Amino acid sequence: MSAENDELYSLLVPLVEDRLIVPRACVAEVVRFSQPEHEAGAHKWMLGTVNWNGRELPVVSFEGALDKEVPATTGRTRIVVFYASSGQLKTGFFGVLTQGFPQLVRVNRDVLSLHTTEGWPADAPVLCRVKMINEFPLIPDLEKLETMLAQESIQA
């Protein structure tokens, strides 16, 4: 197998005090932030929905899902639109608030290693934290985030 096949195009998604790393194939689009139209949600991480390509897109704060303060929006705030892969969301997509544009990176075994599986609430949508050269991004559990969103929709 060639080294090229061992690489994965990924995105580093900036949060306020952290970054997420996700495969590029999980992201449909990055859009300008617009205020959620339907402020809803029993949980602070559920920001509501925005109109995206004629669809109601549920938008969440990843920081809020980690029981941290939901960040204030700025001129750099964007929404990263993820494909919903578990089939739990009727829309087929969901958005995560981000503090700027994601950075495209190529990841391989030589630059990535497990750092920790602890440091966030037990029910948080995080698989682990990895070490990538001089960075320590989180790998989110996108299926768990979808489950959280599906449950929130049922409650709303």
Spell out where the chain has E strands: 8-14, 19-23, 27-32, 46-52, 55-60, 78-83, 93-98, 103-107, 112-116, 126-132, 138-140
| Average of per-residue pLDDT across 116-136 | 90
Asked whether 41 and 25 are in contact (CB, 8 A), the reply is: no
Residue 83 CA to residue 81 CA, distance in Å, equals 7
**139 SS3 class:** strand
| Average of per-residue pLDDT across 2-18 | 84
Answer yes or no: is pLDDT of 139 > 90: yes
Q: pLDDT value at position 19?
A: 96
Q: pLDDT value at position 119?
A: 84
DSSP state of 135: B
pLDDT tens digits along 28-68: 999 999 988 766 566 889 998 999 999 889 999 999 999 99
Residue 33 CA to residue 98 CA, distance in Å, equals 9
**42 SS3 class:** coil
Answer yes or no: is pLDDT of 9 > 80: yes
Residue 143 CB partners (closer than 8 Å, separation 6+): 85, 86
Give the confidence band of 91 by pLDDT, cuts at 50, 70, 90. Answer: confident
Domains of the chain: 3-150 (2.40.50.180)
Q: What percent of the chain has pLDDT over 70?
A: 91
Give the confidence band of 110 by pLDDT, cuts at 50, 70, 90. Answer: confident
Average pLDDT, the chain: 88
Length of the chain: 156
Amino acid type, 133: I
According to DSSP H, which parts of the chain are helical? 62-65, 142-155
Pick the closest to residue 142 from 121, 127, 132, 123 (CA basis).
127
Asked whether 92 and 83 are in contact (CB, 8 A), the reply is: yes
